[in-house]
Chains A and B, each alone.
Chain A
Amino acid sequence: MIISEIVSLPAERISLACVLIIILALTTWRADLRLARPLLIASVRLIIQLSLVGLILEYVFEINNLLLVVLIALAMLLVAGREVSVMQKYRVSGRWSYGIGTCSMFVSSFAVSIFGLAAIIRAESWWDPRYSIPVLGMLLGNTMTAIALSLDRFTTYVWEGRETIEAKLMLGHSSQEALKMILRDSLRAGLMPVINSMAIAGIVSLPGMMTGQILAGNSPVDAVRYQIVIWLLIAVGCGFGSMLVVQMASKRVFDERERLRTDRIYKV
């Protein structure tokens, strides 16, 4: 339900926000904080990237073609998979590093998005880009952090705890037994931020998507329903994605004789 027409933002009013950024940059430059450059670069990137995305999305919504939606979704997935592997301090060697991240992102975002679109949102065509691209984007963005964090903790704990893991193996523990505490700790590290944000949603902060819908003139009740669904899907995606990523990584750091292969982990 649209309550009122949205107030459109002309460029000169957006530039007011840019003026604030420039003031901030100048202040940090005066204080020699060395933040001015990255701050300005990030702001320029933000403006260019989002403007481009706006144009692309307008085009995609107009054409309304399944193949185009699939192509965009795949491109988003590949970038997110790369991002997961780039964010690691210790990486699993070989092509696995990229494969592990991308594969878990696929499960966490693609599978969960398709379920959400087809079974819950049920737009006229489930892949309608007006729904599918924002939903997938939200899921990719949020699950990427959880998956990257879980994987990063996992490889770091394995590397730092390699002697303890081997001590357990020497006593006849299986690889899964030897990793039990590490698996638990790395999954906790990945999932706690999502669980915490869900717990404080609406009290401390208003989630971005909901805010967007309310600003766009939708009723808060509708906005809240979408937000609840999205956030539950994000939690599911983060959970299964993180479990998958550490399972795949744990298969890789042991071989078929269940020997710990630290030679397959390298520090970036």
Chain B
Amino acid sequence: MLKVDQLQFLDWHALSLDVNSGHCLGLMGRSGSGKTLLLRAIADLDVNEGKVSLNGLFRDDVSGPEWRKKVGLLTSESKWWHESVGQHFKSSALKLLIDLGFPDESVLSWKISRLSSGEKQRLALARLLSSSPDALLLDEPTANLDSDSVSLVENVIHRYREEHSVPVIWVAHDVLQLNRVSDIKMCMNEKKLDEDV
């Protein structure tokens, strides 16, 4: 279970929310309403106050890097630093890659500079899931994808959530998508959270 208690960043109201293991919280809100900031604060990437725990483990009891490894944050724009795809993967992710619509292991030798934005987004998801996080914080994970790829991504995330029983926060603008993937929806509005819209 992911428990966020009185989390405060910049001049937003203190926010609290719980996401049960295996459940998905859909998060909506206008651009600039602070959805990304909330995910970044939970992942402890920006300065913030408040208590956050995952399966009983409090964030402040582990180092920053350890915590971020547990709460996998996926941003809408992915970043790559090596030359080829495979250099970014520490463990085998072949099954994930095939589930995400890539042909075979040859994808690992692809050059980053030749990837499309949609390919990058799916690969970023595979890279994240292959590091086995205990929670998923997803910031518009299908923003650059065509409809076929959207279903692939939704299925892969759904399966990961069920198999590993991890809590998920899914930020999206598409209400229909959030209806499909989430158990409960919340909306960021006026620097605070409104429940189930």
A191 shortest CB reach to chain B, Å: 23
13 sample A-B contacts, Cβ–Cβ < 8 Å, listed by A number: A163-B79, A164-B81, A166-B45, A167-B81, A168-B81, A170-B68, A172-B65, A174-B63, A174-B65, A175-B65, A181-B81, A257-B44, A260-B45
Count contacts on B: residues with CB < 8 A to the other chain: 24
CB atoms of B63 and A258 under 8 A apart? yes
Residues of A within 8 A of B127 (CB): 171
Contact between chains at A172 and B75 (CB < 8 Å): no
At the interface, yes or no: B43 with Cβ under 8 Å from chain A? yes
- Docked complex: A168-203 residues within 8 A CB-CB of B: 168-175, 181
- Are A164 and B79 in touch, CB under 8 angstroms? yes
CA distance A167 to B80 in the complex (A): 8
The smallest C-beta distance from B168 to any residue of chain A, in angstroms, reads: 16
The 10 closest A-B pairs by CB, nearest first: A172-B69, A167-B79, A258-B64, A257-B64, A164-B79, A170-B73, A174-B65, A172-B65, A172-B68, A164-B81
Q: Are B65 and A167 in contact (CB under 8 A)?
A: no
Q: Mark A153-166, 1 if CB is under 8 A from B, else 0.
A: 00000000001101
Q: Given A164-B79, A164-B81, A181-B81, are A169 and B65 neighbors across the interface (CB < 8 Å)?
A: yes
B46 within 8 A of partner (CB): yes
Q: Does B197 contact A (CB under 8 A)?
A: no
A34 interface residue, CB < 8 Å from B?
Answer: no
Using a CB–CB distance below 8 Å, which chain B residues touch chain A? 43-47, 63-66, 68-70, 72-75, 77-81, 127-128, 131
Interface residues of chain A, those whose CB is within 8 Å of chain B, are 163-164, 166-175, 181, 255, 257-261
A259 & B64 in contact (Cβ 8 Å cutoff): yes
Complex CA gap A175/B68 in Å reads: 12
Docked Cα-Cα span, A169 to B72, in Å, equals 10
Bound Cα distance from A261 to B64, whole angstroms: 13
A181 contacts across to B, CB distance below 8 A:
81
Please measure, in the bound complex, the distance between the C-alpha atom of A167 and the C-alpha atom of B127, giving whole angstroms: 11
In the complex, A255 Cα to B48 Cα: how many Å?
A: 12
Residues of B within 8 A of A170 (CB): 43, 45, 68, 72-75
Taking CB as reference atom, which chain B residue is nearest A181?
B81
Minimal beta-carbon separation of A164 from chain B (angstroms): 5
Contacts of A260 in B (CB 8 A): 45
CB distance from B190 to the nearest CB of A (A): 25
Q: How far is the CA of A257 from the CA of B65 in the complex (A)?
A: 8
Q: How far is the CA of A169 from the CA of B73 in the complex (A)?
A: 10
B68 contacts which chain A residues (CB < 8 A)?
169-172
Which of A166, A169, A172, A174 counts the most B-chain CB atoms under 10 A from its CB?
A: A172
Inter-chain CA distance A168–B79, complex, in Å, is 8
Q: What are the residues of chain B within 8 A of A169 when measuring CB–CB? A: 45, 64-65, 68
Flag if B47 contacts A172 (CB, 8 Å).
no
Closest to A254 in B: B64
